[in-house]
Structure 1
């Protein structure tokens, strides 16, 4: 199974994409704004990971 995320700017495009997916027999769902922000934030964290240890002092500075 694969999952794709498509961001659209208009409600009409969103409806068209959802209708197409349903006609193709695929499951669809629309993410809430909170979930969308969580996914973006998680992606940013993953990209910024260095796996280096840092001191408490350097973080507080």
Structure 2
């Protein structure tokens, strides 16, 4: 069985509480994520999509960090 997840971002707490109550009544699980958790999840997705077939030298990275 494939598990899927749904992320819902609400503009106010009362709407979010209503959705959480509906999820609970349906017998489904839910988890609240902080703004930091959402950012971390986004970064994780981007890292998984990154093209790792190309490499750069350490010097190139250091030049970028130095602002050159």
Q: Distance in 1 between matches of 2:8 and 2:43?
A: 17
- Unaligned ranges ≥5, structure 1: none
Scaled by the length of structure 2, the TM-score of the pair is 0.71
For the aligned residues, what is the CA RMSD? 1.5
Structure-1-length-normalised TM-score: 0.77
Aligned length: 60
Stretches of structure 2 that go unaligned for 5 or more consecutive residues are 64-68
Q: Which has the higher contact order (CA 8 A, sep 6+)?
A: 1
